Structure 1
Amino acid sequence: MNNIIIRSASPDDMGKLLFFEQELINAERPFDPTLNESDVKYYDIDKMIASPDIELLVAELDGEIIGLGYARIENSKPFVKHVQYGYLGFMYVDPKYRGLGVIHKIIERLIVWTTSREITELRLDVYQANESAIKAYQKLGFTSHYIQMRKEI
């Protein structure tokens, strides 16, 4: 799969980006009982594409978008060592192309983008029950840092 191209998303990609957003939401529903049952939208994709502090990438194979992910520059809390960090999200690969290292390629490019901005730490959120995603991120060197807990009352 050396012919996978990683590039910045453009407004021309909007149809596929919106489709993948809904596919991601559907994939996360089993892990998150707090999601509304309909009309869920995670991202302002137009704003993401235009923002200088967000790099939204797509993976393309033979002219077809097969995956995507972004890095967003965030300000850290004043009591931590680094002033800013890169937050990764919108990580999704079409199920037909999973296991080919697509997310790995996207994250490698996002690391290049964040380090060019003098960012020294990346963070992301993943559902605790999403074991396949956790394993993929661990292969890339991510470790668990913080567990958020909830209780419905």
Structure 2
Amino acid sequence: MIRCATFNDMDKLLAFEQGVINAERPFDPTLKDGDITYYDIDKMISSPEIELLVAELGGEVVGSGYARIEKSKPYLRHPQYAYLGFMYVDPKYRGMGLNQKIIERLSEWSASKGITELRLEVYQTNEPAIRAYEKAGFVRHIVLMRKEI
């Protein structure tokens, strides 16, 4: 079952956040060492501009994802888009299509808000994630480049 996250899910969501961070560390040398956080989960649960969903199986929360409405650059065709993030499925439950179901529900929510474009970021060397997003209909669009000086 895919449902909206509640404050009762906070412990699991905090653990998922660390799961996302740990999964991304090998791809991102710019992340600080030690404990870090990515998300304001309280805000994600309560904001009307964000839809935070969880996947639940047998009463256990096993996955998450959110869509956040963002203002587009003024030169783009769409005035707003939905940015997807916090896409995480407990390793024991991967391969069951839960990420796809979360994306479908986030797409429906976004469309209900008049949004016509979804965007997300994924590390270019994270091929399993790229394949999963391509399976959901996403296409590679822009490569972000960086250089340390």
TM bucket normalised to smaller = over 0.9
SS for the counterpart of 1:106 is helix
Q: Which runs of 5+ in 2 are unaligned?
A: none
Aligned residue among 3, 21, 26 for 2:17: 21
How large is the Cα RMSD of the aligned pairs? 0.5
Instruction: Quote how far apart the aligned CAs of 1:134 are.
Output: 0.1
- The Cα of 1:144 is off from its aligned counterpart by 0.7
> Which consecutive aligned stretches of 4+ in structure 1 deviate over 4 angstroms post-superposition?
none
Aligned residue in 2 for 1:143: 139
1: CA distance, partners of 2:74 / 2:19: 36
User: CA shift at 1:151, angstroms?
Assistant: 1.0
How many residues are treated as equivalent by the alignment? 149
SS in 2 for 1:88: strand
Deviations 1:45-96 (A, max 9, x none): 0011000000000000001111000000000010000100010000000011
- Pairing partner for 1:110 from 99, 102, 106: 106
What letter corresponds to residue 14 of structure 1 in structure 2? Answer: M
Q: Deviations over 1:112-153 (max 9, x none)?
A: 100001100000000001000000000111001110001112
The CA deviation at 1:107 is: 0.3
Q: Which runs of 5+ in 1 are unaligned?
A: none
Aligned residue in 2 for 1:125 = 121
How do 1:1-153 residues align onto structure 2 when only pairs under 5 Å count?
A: 5-153=1-149
Q: Secondary structure of 2:36's match? A: coil
Mapped partners of 2:66, 2:60: distance in 1: 18
